[in-house]
Amino acid sequence: MGKPHAVCEVELLTRGFITQRDREQAIAKVQALCELGHEPVLAAVVKLKVRAKATLELPAIAEASLDLNGTPIRAHATGHSITEAVDLLHDRLSRRLRRRRERLEDRHHGPEPATSHAGYSTVPTDEREVVRHRTLAMHPMSLEEAADEMDQLDHGFYLFLDANHDLDRVVYRNGDGSLHVAPEVAGEDLPGDTRPPIHSATLVLNHLPLDQAKALIDETDDPFVFFANPDSNRGQVLYRRFDGHYGLITPVI
């Protein structure tokens, strides 16, 4: 790879009381990260916000949006203070830039394995099994943070506990690549400022036993089923694996 390109000027937008020190540190951290992509950074915008409601657990918000040679790279973080939010933003943005750089280097050394774009293997319905069951300690996070985590992991969906609504939800990409979240929360102001808009989905959080969730996913071409455990009322995801079987993601209870 070539040498890092010149760092562009970082535009800073603020709302609420932000100290000069926090402003300068946010700009400096993002400027330093601009070199990690090894591509021209055509634009960089950082947004810092302190929400006025003192009752909010994480009132500070830090967001960044980079135009990396025509590709948007975004990250979002919340914290008890702007300093904490900026530090978390730095970590997340760093991971995303390093991940993109590694992908470019992989392509430079050779094509990606064909299996990365392979379809699902065909397994008869009555032979399909849950061959992987993962339990997650789901720490509360915002919808934007969940979308960032999904992108960072390069997954098509992400199960999370919504900090603003104390609700198990799933954020996901549909067939055209747009972002959606389920279940819908009436009157919710969905984010779409520093990232592609997130839309409310029509998915309903049905309470189903696992065998009925299996039957539901077999009836459709959908990559996953989002459902609630009838006993715990917690959200779960049953998803298709490329080997033709199922994977199950459940929260730690």
pLDDT digits (tens, 9 = 90+) for 105-126: 655 444 433 333 335 677 888 8
**pLDDT at position 186:** 84
Query: Tokens standing for 23?
Result: 């402003």
pLDDT at position 13: 93
- Predicted TM-score (pTM) of the model is 0.57
Q: Residue type at 192? A: G
Burial 153-182 (b: 16+ CB within 10 A, else e): eeeebbbbbbbeeeebbbbbbeeeeebbbb
Give the helix, strand, coil percentages of the chain, each rounded to 5: 30, 30, 40
Q: Looking at residue 113, what is its pLDDT? A: 36
Q: How far is CA 101 from the centre of its chain?
A: 19
pLDDT score recorded for residue 232: 87
Average pLDDT across the chain, whole number: 81
Per-residue pLDDT at 105: 60
Please, what are the domains in the chain? Answer: 10-109 (3.30.160.100), 124-251 (3.30.505.50)
Q: pLDDT value at position 149?
A: 81
CA atoms within 13 A on the CB side of 99: 13
- For the chain, residues with pLDDT lower than 70 are 1-7, 36-38, 53-57, 102-120, 152, 191-195
Model pLDDT, residue 32: 85
